[in-house]
Amino acid sequence: MKRRPPTFSHRVRYDRVTVGQTPRCGKGLFAAAAMKAGQAVGRIRGEAKPPGYMSEYCMGYRDGAIEPDAPYRYINHSCDPNCELIEWEIDDGEGNKYYELWLHTTKAVAAGGELTIDYAANGAMKTESSAVCLCGSPKCRGFI
């Protein structure tokens, strides 16, 4: 399914999220209102980093990474996630292109539900550097 970048409107409110405590891994990102599957949640903003950059919070972006600002730096992993990161190519109408990283739901999420992504979405293979997974999902791989 080919999706289009979010269309901005004064009637649509993005970033309807809150940061709160999780029972298993510190802070997490939660839906402040119910969300439908395929809904844009919000734009990930932060500092662009070069290829090979690694940190506890970084997200792959373009040819490198982005160190996300709050609140999106608190999105946790799940082996059965309800969100995904989508990189949009935006054309400004004058031939210039720029890129944005967005969080979108892949499943419906109830108000107060934790928003999660799969940290290993591009291929989950256990290596020496794999971390033990604490997601608690019935579909848990056991590692990140």
Does residue 76 form part of some domain? yes
Based on the number of CB atoms within 10 Å of its own CB, is 142 exposed (0-12), middle (13-18) or buried (19 or more)? exposed
Examine residue 36 and state whether it is found in any structural domain, yes or no.
yes
Total of domains in the chain = 1
Q: What is the pLDDT of residues 29-47, one digit of tens each?
A: 999 999 999 999 999 999 9
**Residue 9 included in any domain:** no
Helix (H) or strand (E) segment spanning residue 19: strand 17-22
| pLDDT one-digit tens code per residue, 68-123 | 999 999 999 999 999 999 998 888 889 888 889 999 999 999 999 999 999 876 65
pLDDT of residue 10: 45
Q: Tell whether 11 is covered by a domain.
A: no
Q: Tell me the CATH number at 44.
A: 2.170.270.10
Q: Which domain holds residue 58?
A: 17-117
Span 55-78, average pLDDT: 88
What's the confidence (pLDDT) of residue 125?
Answer: 63
